[in-house]
Amino acid sequence: MKHNDTILYKWIDFFSVVSVVSMFFWYYNSFEGGAFIYLFEYGLLLLIMFCIYISTLIFIIYRVLNGKGKMMFLSKVFHVSFAVLLLTTTIYNSELFKSAVIIKAIMVDDLYSYTLVFRTDGGVTTEINGMFGYTETINGKYHLSDSLIIFDIQPYDKGFLKDTMLIDPSSNALYMYKDSNGQFIKKKDWLSNFDIIEMSQY
């Protein structure tokens, strides 16, 4: 192997590792709700890392297809590992291995939308979407008692969601608040209820 090729492969390994690690941390922050915020703060740097990532990936694929990629072991390990991570998390977060949805309801305020997704296995998630592409998912547990949803593990801070919610199919709403007599207030108002957008027989 030529000396120049050896130097080239070392640089490819270096840029592959740096770009893949950068993409990994940016991807990881998507689960913490901050991927797009980081994109606005470090947009130029992330763009450079993304271009390097794509360039090294194309170079490696080209070399491998031409039987000249044996020396780029580190590059191949990092790129393949990241590809496997993307594929695995995409499948895991898809509906493929999740139980059926019983109720899906949404509430929107000035900055965020909150979507509650209740499933047949007793799992519930709060999917939060906000400005600048902010996303976050919080998991919890619940069980049903007649027309009541009782949270065993709340999918959000207790100051926001109450321990119990009322399902009211007639108004397509989930109500959270009670009056002084302990009865649910069946009145749609700002931030007082979730609007049901999907419901099967529960």
Calculate mean pLDDT across residues 131-141.
80
Nearest to 142 by CA among 170, 169, 102: 102
How far, in Å, are 27, 40, 117, 156, 194 from residue 162 at the CA level? 32, 34, 16, 9, 12
pLDDT above 90: percentage of residues in the chain: 40
- The reported pTM is 0.68
Neighbours of 70 (CB within 10 A): 11
Where along the chain do the CATH 2.40.128 domains lie?
101-199
| The predicted structure's pLDDT at residue 11 | 84
Residues 26-35 have pLDDT tens digits of: 777 666 555 5
Q: CA 136, CA 88: separation in Å to the nearest integer?
A: 19
Distances (CA, A) of 164 to 93, 111, 117: 27, 25, 15
Amino acid at 180: S
Domain covering 101-199, topology: Lipocalin (2.40.128)
Specify the higher pLDDT residue, 202 or 26. Answer: 26
More confident residue, 158 or 66: 66
Residue 28 backbone dihedrals phi, psi, to 5 degrees: -60, -40
* Cα–Cα distance for residue pair 132/28, rounded to 1 Å: 17
**Closest by alpha carbon to 14, among 56, 63, 62?**
56
What band does 197 get if pLDDT is binned at 50, 70 and 90? Answer: very high
Residue 182 pLDDT > 60: yes
Q: Tell me the CB-side half-sphere exposure of residue 138, using CA atoms within 13 A.
A: 14
pLDDT interval class at 137 (50, 70, 90):
confident
Looking at per-residue pLDDT, the higher value among 5 and 169 belongs to: 169
pLDDT in tens, 75-128: 889 999 999 998 988 887 777 878 899 999 999 988 889 999 999 999 999 998
CA distance 152 to 114: 19
- The H or E element containing residue 60 is helix 43-65
pLDDT at 62 > cutoff 70:
yes
> Can you list the positions of beta strands (E) in 31-121?
101-108, 113-119
Greater confidence, 59 or 201?
59
